[in-house]
Structures are given as C-alpha cells and as structure tokens.
Amino acid sequence: MNNKDTPGLGWWQQTWRLTAATAAGVLAWVSTGVVLHGLGEETDSWFLTGDPLVALGCLTALVWRRRFPLAVAMTIAIVSTASVLATGAALVALCSISTRRRPLEIGVVTLAYVTASQLALGFYPIQSSPGSSWVQLALSALTAGIAVAVGTAIGARRAEVLYLRERAELAEREQNARAEQAQALERNRIAREMHDVLAHRISLVAVQAGVLDHRGDLSAEESRVLVRGVAEGSRQALEELRDVLGVLRADPGHAEAPQPSLERIPALVAEARTSGMDITLTTTVTGTPSDVVGRTCYRVVQEGLTNAAKHAPGAHIRITVEGTAGGELHVSVHNSSAGAWITPPPASGFGLLGLTERVDLAGGKLSHHPTPDNGYLLTAQLPWPRPAHEKSV
C-alpha cells in the first residue's frame, strides 16, 4: 500500500503508538540495567544519558515514519545499536514499514534490526556464556517476526478497508448515474406523451381559430361549426391532458388509460376531417400487430397530421398504411404544398425527435423530408414478426 493512500493519524493515535514504543524500550533498558547491576558492573554515563538521548531522537523520528517510511525505519534500526532504550522505537518502525507489505523493504529493515541487536551486545561490558549469542539472535528474530506479522496484518486490513470504501463510492456513483439516467428517460417519456396528446389536438384548434380569424366570407353555419370545433377540441385537449397526468401519477399496478392502437387511426382521421383537413386514408393491413407496433403507427400518423396542420394548412394529405405479419408495417403521411397561408402556431421542435425515439424503441426506422411538389413526406417502417404460436405451426 502506498503511504499516500494511508489515512493520517490523529494526535491520540500518534500518542499511544509513541507510548507503546517508549514502554517497550523502557522494559529493555531496565532489564539491561538490572543485568549490569547483578554482574557488579557500574552503569556508566552513556547508559544513563547517551542511551536515553538516542532513544528520544528515535522516538521523535517515528513521527515522520509515514512520510518517509523506509528512511525512518532504516535509520532507527541502525541507530538502535547504540541505545537499548530505542528497541521499542525500532520495533514500531519495523511494524510500520511492514504495513506497506513490500517484501524487499521488510527484509532489509528486518536484517538491519537483527544485526543491530547483535552488535548492541558488545556495546556494554556484559559477559555472555557460550551459546547465549544464538539465544539473543533467536530472540531478536522472534521479536522482529512478531512486529512484521502485526504490521502485515494491519496493512492487509487497511487495504481491505480502502477497497471496501472505493467499492462503496463506486456503487454510489453508479447508483446516482442510474438514477439520473432513469430521471432523464422518464422526463423524455413524459415529454413524448404530453406532445403526442396535446400537440395534435391544439394544432387542430389553432387551425380552426385561424380560419375564423382570416376568413371573412364564412356563413353563419360555417362559423358555428368552426366555433363548436374549437370548443370541442379544447375540451378534449383538457380531458386527454387529465388522462395523461392520471397515468403518470397512478400507483404501480393501477390500471392505465387505454393506449392508442392501429384500429383507432380511422377515428383519428375522421376527427381531423371535421376540422377542415383534406385527408385520404388507404389501409391494406391484414392482421393485428403488437400493441407497441400499433401504438407507434398511430403516433406516426398523428404527428404527420399535426405537422401538416401547423405548416401546410389547406393541403391535401394522403395517408397509407400497409403490411402483414411476418414482414413490416409501412406507414406514410404525405401532404402537398400549403393551400392557404395563415400564421402557424408555435412549433415545439420536439415532435419528430420524440417520434424518432418511439420508432427506434420499436425497432423500426423513421424518415422525413420535403418532396418535389413543395410538400412533405413522413414514413416509418416497423417490424412485424409473426406471433410465437404461428411460428410453431
């Protein structure tokens, strides 16, 4: 683990580590003093002053062990040769370097620590019996091994905690991204529904109101028909808006309002004709497509009529729907050039965009472009696979 990835220590964590190092060093220092006194050796000034000063320097160096781990550990391991009291600091430094779990660093510092502990035997005039040096070597190796094991375990735990924290942060970011994507998809769905339901109805109302405003030669009966059309269209627009909002606010499992289908296209055309639009409908469909395909076909026709009402009032509109199961469902809406020029209602700019998304979701292809007769053509090809029960026959 990189020392940059290790969280910094608070004052309390730093204090108890230094206290533990001091306690271990004091234990070794007192033991050495007892041995010297038992052998009748006088404790010299170095043992009483120099040894503690070196240990104090080692303890001070421990504060920077996370910033300069290898340098601090090697320095303390080597300097501890001249100080029994620095043994605790050397063990803490060895434990700290082991948390990085880098075998080469651990091996170098461990070797320096064990070597220093052997050289320290000759620093004080303690007569050792034959074979005791091996005991001292084994004891140094054992303490070093314990420090390395503890440090490695701490490093493994830190790495696991860091991994779990990163996983949690990644999961949170992914969850936020999914939530934002779901919100965007829901906003687009609501926008499509609102446009499909209201744009067509309001466009027809705007066309009828425009005729009333620009035609001064209308008879009283014709004016009344147009006024009734405006009123009826406005009422239906409010009802359809209420239905859409009801679906959007409905609880899960609540029955949704009936969705438009292929069978409702003639009624859609008849309603548009009552507003004065000149429409020819040709249908050669055999069979009933899926709800998604039928609804998408209805929306294509609806968008074509809406655009014609907005941008080509008075134009002749030709609608063709054809197809059969096992192939494709083709729908086209072609309007000629405008027959009368009145101020069109403001365009939302999202109709064809939302329709393209609908057709793509249904697995089809949408095309729209001007025609040589100054008209406009809107076409869609929608897949119409055979039902599963027919495929198995």
- The domain locations on the chain are 11-172, 178-249+261-391
Cβ 58 vs Cβ 92: under 8 Å: no
pLDDT of residue 334: 94
Q: How many C-beta atoms lie closer than 10 Å to residue 7's C-beta?
A: 11
Other C-beta atoms within 10 Å of 91: how many?
26
Measured CA to CA, the distance from residue 163 to residue 167 in angstroms comes to 6
Query: Is residue 211 classed as helix, strand or coil in its secondary structure?
Result: helix
d(CA 136, CA 250) in angstroms, rounded, equals 81
Across the beta sheet with 278-286, the strand order is: 278-286, 316-324, 327-335, 376-384, 365-370
Between CA 153 and CA 385 the distance in angstroms is 62
Q: Within 13 Å and on the Cβ side, how many CA atoms surround 66?
A: 14
Enumerate the H helices of the chain as residue ranges: 11-38, 45, 51-62, 69-79, 87-98, 103-119, 132-214, 220-249, 265-274, 291-311, 351-361, 388-391
Q: Please list, in sequence order, all residues whose beta carbon lies within 8 angstroms of the beta carbon of residue 68, skipping any fewer than 6 positions away.
A: none
Give pLDDT, residue 244: 64
Distance CA 255, CA 251 (A): 9
pLDDT of res. 365: 93
**pLDDT computed for residue 4 by the predictor:** 45
Which tens digit of pLDDT belongs to each residue from 24-50? 878 877 777 776 666 555 556 677 788
- Percent of all residues in the chain with a pLDDT value above 90, rounded to a whole number: 10
Q: Give me the architecture of the 178-249+261-391 domain, per CATH.
A: 2-Layer Sandwich (3.30)
What long-range pairs does 251-259 form, CB within 8 A, spacing at least 24?
A: 259/291, 259/295
Closest by alpha carbon to 276, among 332, 319, 236, 225?
225
Q: What is the pLDDT of residue 282?
A: 92
- In the predicted model, residues of the chain with pLDDT beneath 50 are 1-6, 391-393
Among 305, 234, 310, residue whose Cα is nearest residue 270: 305
Q: Check residue 197 and give its pLDDT.
A: 66
Measure the CA angle with vertex 269, ends 263 and 273; round to 5°. Answer: 155
243-268 confidence digits (pLDDT tens):
666 655 655 555 555 678 889 899 88
| pLDDT given at position 213 | 67
**Residue 346 DSSP one-character state:** P
Provide the pLDDT for residue 382: 92
Give me the residue label for tokens 């860091």. Answer: 162
Q: What is the DSSP string of 83-111?
A: -STTHHHHHHHHHHHHTT--HHHHHHHHH
Residue 384 pairs in a beta bridge with 327
| Predicted local confidence at residue 392, as pLDDT | 41
